Amino acid sequence: MVGEALARAEELRRAGRAKDGIPLLLEALRYGEERAQVFFRLGVLFFELGDLSRAEHAFRRATEEDPRHASAHHNLGVVYRRQGKIAQSVKMLKKAQWLEVRYPRRADPAGVPKGSRRRWAWGAGLLLLPLAALLVWLLGRTG
């Protein structure tokens, strides 16, 4: 049942009907199975709808259900960045990188090898470092 709801919600998201997948996933939470993945998918749907507050909540819940869920940490970092919470964003993205290295998965649901995602995550982290340095420099100039 939960697997079917996850698959159907993903189909709806790909069809541009993310809003229609939300009730399916909320219902799936009642079964108590795969809760981290259900919260993660809810976060993706809310993010696509531009509801950053609910996306943040869903990704945070996914990380609480499964502290090793690297993708949930990564997406939470992306949400924080969009919200202007740079320090929290950097923290989550670094944690996602660490989790990818420490607890690699063989392949993600889309079939992309995790090594490719890990290289991408490291590249994204390296891009954020100059941004964080610039932010620190700018804050030092105003103080």
Q: For 33-51, what is the HEC assignment?
A: CCHHHHHHHHHHHHHHCCC
- Hey, is 33 helix, strand or coil? coil
Domain count, the chain: 1
Residue of 52, 42, 50, 57 whose CA lies nearest to 9: 42
Q: Report residue 16's pLDDT band, with 50, 70 and 90 as the boundaries.
A: very high
Structure tokens at 35: 């809760």
Q: Is the pLDDT of residue 132 over 90?
A: no
pLDDT at position 61 = 97
What is the distance between the alpha carbons of residues 111 and 74, in angstroms, rounded to a whole number?
Answer: 18
User: Other C-beta atoms within 10 Å of 73: how many?
Assistant: 26
CATH number at residue 119: 1.25.40.10
Write out the residue range of the structural domain in which residue 117 sits: 2-142
Residue of 63, 87, 84, 64 whose CA lies nearest to 75: 63
Average of pLDDT values for 121-125?
61
What is the distance between the alpha carbons of residues 54 and 44, in angstroms, rounded to a whole number?
Answer: 10
Q: What percent of the chain has pLDDT over 90?
A: 65
Q: Is the pLDDT of residue 28 over 60?
A: yes
Q: Is the pTM of this model over 0.85?
A: no
